[in-house]
C-alpha cells in the first residue's frame, strides 16, 4: 500500500483513537484488505506530521515509549486551521495525551541537544580553521541557551501540573484546556 493510501486510511480509522501503531495497522488492514504493518503506519504518521498544511490534520506527538497506564487512545486525529492558527481538540482526554507528548518531546529534545552539544564541542576543539571555530563556538553557545530555555519550560510545565493537581485534589489533570 502506498504511503498516501495509508494516510488516507488513517483519517478514517482514527474516528476512534488508538493506543499503538500496531492497532492502527490492523484497523487499516481490516478496512482495506491489504497488508499494512507498524512501520508503514509510523512512516505515514511521520510524513503527515511534516506536511500538515497539505493535509489539514495531524496525529499529535504522544509520550514516547511503550503504551502504559493512561495511554489508551493516545493516537488521535486533530484538525488544523493553518490560516487562523487553530488546532481542534475534540475531547478532554486528548489534552492529556497532548500534554504527555509535549513534555516527552521537550525532555527528548533537551537530552538530544545535550548530546549534540557535547559532540559539537569535540568537533570545535579539533577544527583547524579559526573562522569555522568561531562560527561553531557561537552556534554551540546558541544551542546551549536554547537547551537551558527548554529545561526551564519543562520545569515550569511540571510545576504547573503540580499546581493544577493541588487545586483539583487529583493527579493526571492536564495543564492544557479546551478552547
Cα torsion angle, 52, 55, 60, 61, sign: negative
Q: What does 88-145 look like in DSSP terms, one character per residue?
A: E--SHHHHHHHHHHHHHHHHHHHHHHHHHHHHHHHHHHH---HHHHHHHHHHHHHHHH
Q: Which residues of 22-59 are buried (b: 16+ CB within 10 A; e: fewer)?
A: ebbbbbbbeebeeebeeebbeebbeebeeeeeebebbb
Residue 104 neighbours by CB distance under 10 Å: 15
Q: How confident is the model at residue 177 (pLDDT cuts 50, 70, 90)?
A: low
Percent of the chain with pLDDT over 90: 55
What pTM did the predictor assign? Answer: 0.69
Amino acid 81: pLDDT: 80
CA 134 to chain centre: 33
Residue 115 neighbours by CB distance under 10 Å: 10
Mean pLDDT of 27-51: 96
Amino acid 86: pLDDT: 66
- Domains of the chain, by residue range, sit at 3-88, 93-168
Q: What is the fold, at CATH topology level, of the domain defined by 3-88? A: Arc Repressor Mutant, subunit A (1.10.10)
Closest CA to 46 of 58, 63, 28, 29: 58
Amino acid at each position: 500500500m502506498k504511503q498516501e493510501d495509508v494516510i488516507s486510511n488513517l483519517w478514517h480509522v482514527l474516528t476512534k483513537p488508538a493506543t499503538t501503531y500496531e492497532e492502527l495497522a490492523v484497523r487499516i488492514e481490516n478496512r482495506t484488505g491489504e497488508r499494512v504493518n507498524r512501520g508503514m503506519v509510523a512512516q505515514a504518521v511521520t510524513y503527515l506530521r511534516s506536511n500538515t498544511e497539505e493535509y489539514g490534520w495531524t496525529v499529535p506527538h504522544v509520550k514516547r515509549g511503550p503504551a502504559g497506564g493512561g495511554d489508551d487512545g493516545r493516537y488521535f486525529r486533530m484538525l488544523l486551521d493553518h490560516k487562523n492558527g487553530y488546532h481542534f481538540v475534540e475531547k478532554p482526554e486528548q489534552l492529556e495525551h497532548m500534554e504527555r507528548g509535549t513534555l516527552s518531546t521537550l525532555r527528548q529534545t533537551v537530552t538530544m541537544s545535550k548530546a549534540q552539544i557535547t559532540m559539537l564541542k569535540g568537533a570545535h576543539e579539533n577544527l583547524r580553521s579559526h573562522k569555522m571555530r568561531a562560527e561553531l563556538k557561537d552556534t554551540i553557545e546558541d544551542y546551549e541557551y536554547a537547551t537551558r530555555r527548554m529545561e526551564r519550560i519543562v520545569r515550569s510545565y511540571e510545576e504547573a501540573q503540580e499546581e493544577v493537581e493541588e487545586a483539583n485534589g487529583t493527579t493526571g489533570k492536564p495543564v492544557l484546556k479546551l478552547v
